[in-house]
Structure 1
Amino acid sequence: MSVVPPELLDDIVREIDDLESLKACSLVVSTLRHTSQRILFNSLTIDIKNFTAIRDLLTGSPHIAHYVTSLRALLAGLDVESFGRILPKLQNVRKCFLDGVWYSSRRSSAPLRSGIPPIILDFLTRQPLRTLGLMSIHIPIAVLRNLVKIIPTLYFLAVGIEDGADAVPAHTVSQPPVERFALNSLFLIGNDVGQFLAHPHNISCVAALRHLSVRPQGSGWAGALIEGASSTLNHIEFNCSSYPPPALPHLPALRTVGFTFSGQIIPSARAEIISQTANVLSTLAVPQMSPALAKIMIIQELARDGAFDPSPYLPLITMLDKALAAYPIPVSIGWTLRLNDGETQFKHFADSVRRGMPKAHSVGRLLLEAYVPSTTRIKKVGGYSYYS
């Protein structure tokens, strides 16, 4: 071992993608231990089930805490004070996700959003975070304003906003405008944060935004965010579970736009959302609106009954084929269908899209994929990718 350069040993260990092999390497010799442990403990998930073991590990082997750059904490049931004693050991976290569903009302079994305890807020302000995700949690307005200034990538899922001890609707809060911003990517589901960021006092925080992923709520904030970031946006993704996307303004830097249609809503409602989405996308027929557009991605999630009816998509398919033909450089379209059952449904789907988009199909710009979540093997059906 001594004749092998340490850098080469490190490179060899980094090529190992098997968890058990990495564990074995960490126990063989000291020359492999630290590199193996650095990979094994790069990402750490803490919840009520493993909390005691992780606390003992970080206490007995304090050097491991320095390897943790990605932290996910499921706060349900965790003792805040005990959890807080672990946090000072973690000083190199770059990516952090906090799930705040950790208590229920006495009157209801439904989980409620908790606030962020001061000890955790202090931890977040001390870390050189590049990515932060918050789910089902309340945060103070002052904290939110600071996060969008200093963290490039933010995920907000069902996050509420509070001002001091009392919750205040985001759109009613009067604050000085945000003057500096680092926000590059924003993934957002929930009205409170959306309305806050879309407020005229705060809209400047998205002025450098390049990636936006939203679930429109029908209150207009999604359109305001797109307008505020229109000069820099490269990628937009819409989860059209409840509402269609807003109208698209002039987006000179836009490269890709994606749409996900839920299979968990009733067919008539889904058909209406798809129809309205087709109307929104009709602006793409004017290439000057999005001159850099290179790809459109559409995902249809599993239906409740596992069936797939392509008929609601026909107006969208026809409109896209006509609109994309207007671009001097052909735009690609990727269409993914998530299925419970495979080949028959997918063939029907692929044939329908191929007939509806003859121009895109003829120039080889149409990519159709089917994905069955239970497996990851790839099949080819009629020349298209099929995951089963």
Structure 2
Amino acid sequence: MTDIPRELIDAILGEVKDMESLKRCALSAPALRGSSQRILLHSMSVHAEGRRDYNAACALLAVSPHVATYITRFTVYVSSSPATPEKLRSFQQLLSKLTHVRRCAIRGGTSGSWHDFATLVPALFEFILRSDLTKLHVLFVSELPIPALAVLVSSAPQVSFYNVGVDTNGYDGASLAGKQSNSKLQQLLVLQSDGVCDVLGRPQFAPSRANLRRLSVRSADVDISVGIFFATANTLEHIGFHYRPYNVVLDHLPYLPVLRSVDIPMESSSAHKQHLIDSVASIVVSRPPCLEEIIITYRLQSFHTAFLRSETVAALDAVLGSDATAPRIRWRLSFGWGNDIQTSNRLADFAALVRVEMPTLYRRGKVTCERYYLWGEEGEWALR
């Protein structure tokens, strides 16, 4: 066992998805212990109160300091109550020990106001700025000051906001000075956070947006949120939009000269989608020369949800198949139910439908299907 390269052990254990099996590996042999623990202990969540509060996390790392080097994902739940001096010290000590975090999430409390946990912000920002983050998520926070937004949106290549409100009171453009320097932002996901879209589309945020390549927005108000598409039109390579009705956004978007892919979400409330056909046709006609892919994200609400009608799928094949240079189609199916076997079977059924009803694109190798996880990064490919 000691002669096996650690890289090979890491690769093998990385394929083990069952936590109990990993625990047994950690206890079975010294050569497996470190690699197993790195997987088991890669994530930490801390709360302001309760069993997993800042004090408990500090105590854990004091007893087992090596664990801190395993933690690459960190979630902090912030309280609506101001932190006591003791909790603030524990919070600062905890963050000082976490030197390998690459993904960080900040989740608001019951009220979620940024001002409620203002005492934690200096330590939190120091941690965010010194960490080499690849992803930052901000969830359930209201009254986020614009200067704080400037820091957060510039601190990682991938940043997301979910249910975040922005406080624009007392805003002074000078307060952004230095907060957007060396922005890392390349991918931005904004869900139900119209104020974030509005503010980030303003001229003062041009430094933060300078390298933005991927933008996905879920909004109920096109007029408020579409401005960021105009502000980033010359750099956007990938876009997604989740509006209701979703097709209305196509009439509001600017020309995107370097666009490579567009993601169209589709609700499963009806089995025939004429507006889906119209939207795809509109994209094909007015597409920039570098558009390579149209992604259709299709959410199945239940096991009994009907697929698209065969004539709808066939119509899409006709729209795209008539032009040999048209972009490829990628179907992404998101399941809100079922186990792996059930979802795999449904995915296979849909892939069979696509093979039959999209013969032109299938013959050209320009249609694929995958299982899609909204918060995940993996797809399961069904078409070969």
Shorter-chain TM-score bucket reads 0.7 to 0.9
Taking a change above 3 Å as real, the CA distance of residues 230 and 379 of structure 1, as seen in their structure-2 partners, is closer
Structure 1: which amino acid aligns with 2:184? A
Cα 1:304–1:201, aligned 2, differ >3 Å: closer, same or farther?
same
> 2:151 aligned with 1:152, yes or no?
no
1:25–1:335 distance in 2 versus 1, CA, 3 Å: closer
SS in 2 for 1:15: helix
Do structure 1's residue 254 and structure 2's residue 252 form an aligned pair? no
Distance 2:102 2:345 in 1: 45
Amino acid at match of 1:122: A
1:293 to 291, 294, 313: 291
Bigger shift: residues 47-56 or 130-139: 47-56
Q: Deviations over 1:312-361 (max 9, x none)?
A: x9678636742564353x52212244566889988996787667655424
Give the alignment's TM-score, normalised by structure 1: 0.72
What do residues 184-232 of structure 1 show as CA deviations (whole Å, max 9, x unaligned)? 0101111110111112332453232111121133233443222322332
Task: Kindly state the Cα deviation for residue 71 of structure 1 after the two structures are TM-superposed.
Answer: 0.7
**Larger deviation: 337-346 or 318-327?**
337-346
Once the 2 structures are TM-superposed, how far is the Cα of residue 16 of structure 1 from its aligned partner? 1.0
Q: Which residue of 2 aligns with 1:199?
A: 202
Match of 1:322 among 319, 322, 330: 319
* Alpha carbons 1:354, 1:361 under 8 Å: kept: yes
Q: TM-score with structure 2 length normalisation?
A: 0.73
Give the aligned partner of residue 186 of structure 2.
Answer: 184
Q: Is contact 2:293–2:327 with CA below 8 Å preserved after alignment?
A: yes
SS in 2 for 1:215: strand
Instruction: Measure how far apart 1:306 and its partner are.
Output: 3.5
Q: Which residue of 2 aligns with 1:237?
A: 240
Aligned to 1:284: 283
Q: Which region of structure 1 is more displaced relative to structure 2, 350-359 or 20-29?
A: 350-359
Which of 139, 144, 156 is the matching residue for 1:135?
139
66, 70, 91: which is aligned to 1:67?
70
Alignment length (residue pairs) = 351
Matching residue of 1:113 = 112
Distance across 1 between alignment mates of 2:59 and 2:104: 21
Aligned-partner SS, 1:71: strand
Match of 1:91 among 99, 108, 123: 99
Match of 1:9 among 6, 9, 13: 6
CA offset digits 1:109-132 (Å, max 9, x no partner): xxx423244324422333323321
In the alignment, residue 199 of structure 1 is paired with which amino acid? R
Which of 324, 332, 335 pairs up with 2:331? 335
2:297, 2:52 → 1: CA distance? 36
Distance 1:327 1:121 in 2: 55
Change beyond 3 A, Cα 1:133–1:370: closer
* CA-CA distance at 1:144 after TM superposition: 0.7
Asked if the contact 1:285/1:324 (under 8 Å) is kept, the reply is no
Contact kept? 1:216, 1:243, Cα under 8 Å: no
Supply the distance in 1 between the matched residues of 2:6 and 2:344 (Cα, whole angstroms).
Answer: 46
SS in 1 for 2:233: coil
Relative to structure 1, the CA distance from residue 342 to residue 29 in structure 2 (aligned partners, 3 Å threshold; closer, same or farther) is closer
Aligned equivalents of 1:10, 1:347: Cα separation in 2? 34
Contact between 1:240 and 1:262, CA under 8 Å: does it hold in 2? no
Bigger shift: 199-208 or 70-79? 70-79
Q: Counterparts of 2:356 and 2:30 in 1: how far apart (Å)?
A: 62
- Give the 3 Å change call, closer, same or farther, for CA 364–57 of structure 1 in structure 2: same
Unaligned runs of 5+ in 1: 104-111
- The answer to whether the Cα contact below 8 Å between 1:321 and 1:358 also exists between their aligned partners in 2 is no
CA gap 1:278/1:200 in 2 versus in 1, 3 angstroms: farther
